[in-house]
Amino acid sequence: MQIQSQETLLPDFHEHLKVILLGTGTPRAYSGRAKSSVAILAGDKVILIDCGGAVVDQLIKAGIMPQRIADVFFTHHHSDHNSGFFDLFISSWRTHVIPERVFEGRSVPMNVYGPTTTKEIIGKMRESFDFDANLRVNYNLSADEGSKINYIENNEGVVYDRAGLKITAFEVDHRPVYPALAYKIEYNGKTVVISGDTIPVPNMIKYSQGADLLIHESYNKAWLDALIAKFPEQAQSLSNPAKYHSTTLQVAQMAKQAEVAHLVLTHHIPAPAATDEAEAEYMQGMSDIYSNKITMGRDLMAFEL
């Protein structure tokens, strides 16, 4: 019997905080850039911040079976941050069997955290796959509890605090999307902040103060201006990022003010080629403002703190 094996799997326990960029892309489709999602590994827990398209494929490539996911934290509800939820919900619930081992499916409800729009939006998404879920309970005999969702909505404050892993939500500004959140994750003396999508806000500096890692979205203003000049008929759509995202130089300034140890850029607009030369051009001027380490995020890049 020749059945495809899984990729090399990560350990089931992580003494230190580990962060994996599953997707560094945007709503626009780019080769090699999955939609927004970050995996956080701490102790025996794996949680997701956002759940963009291709998230299950990216988890497996990262060595994480989806059955390990029972907690998803949404920053906001643009499609590039939540469109992978259906696949994750079903894939984490289904038991997976290969000759080497069994990956037990999630037998408890999915815990879904997010802003106060979350139950309304994700609840409708869940209702849309009732047909599939009912078949899996009644025909495949999947655990009924696994078909359910617990919703935890909170725009500001501690939303998770168990086994040494603490996660704090705080508001950012991604209007017209409101509310929108960022998350501060603390474990074993280390701190990582994930911005979600936002313009510069005082909250980012407040909650990122002294963080070991700040993962922040960005857009390159010079690149966007050049595209607008070249394609004036697309001016409105191309100029929209300036209304609710942060420029590379603004992000550098926030990282400097917060005195973070390491800044990682993600959600790149426009996405640079995955080459040192292109990424250096995208980050031009940032090191003049912020002197600590800056990394251009690429899909499946991992950071151990």
pLDDT in tens, 283-304: 999 999 999 999 999 999 999 9
For residue 1, the model assigns a pLDDT of 57
pLDDT bucket at 102, cuts 50 / 70 / 90? confident
Q: Of all residues in the chain, what percent carry a pLDDT higher than 70? A: 98
Residue 198 clears pLDDT 80, i.e. is over it:
yes
Mean pLDDT of 109-123: 98
For residue 100, the model assigns a pLDDT of 82
> Phi and psi of 30, rounded to 5°?
-130, 145
DSSP designation for 145: G
Mean pLDDT of 70-95: 96
pLDDT bucket at 96, cuts 50 / 70 / 90? confident
As its CATH architecture, domain 14-304 has 4-Layer Sandwich (3.60)
Q: Where are the domains of the chain?
A: 14-304
Mean pLDDT of 251-269: 98
Compute the C-alpha angle 173/174/179, nearest 5°: 75
For residue 60, the model assigns a pLDDT of 95
Which pTM does this prediction carry?
0.96
Q: Strand, coil or helix: what is 259?
A: coil
For residue 30, the model assigns a pLDDT of 85
Sign of the Cα pseudo-torsion (156, 157, 162, 165, in order): positive
For residue 8, the model assigns a pLDDT of 82
Mean pLDDT of 82-111: 92
For residue 47, the model assigns a pLDDT of 98
Residue 2 clears pLDDT 80, i.e. is over it:
no
CA-wise closest residue to 40 among 196, 183, 207: 183
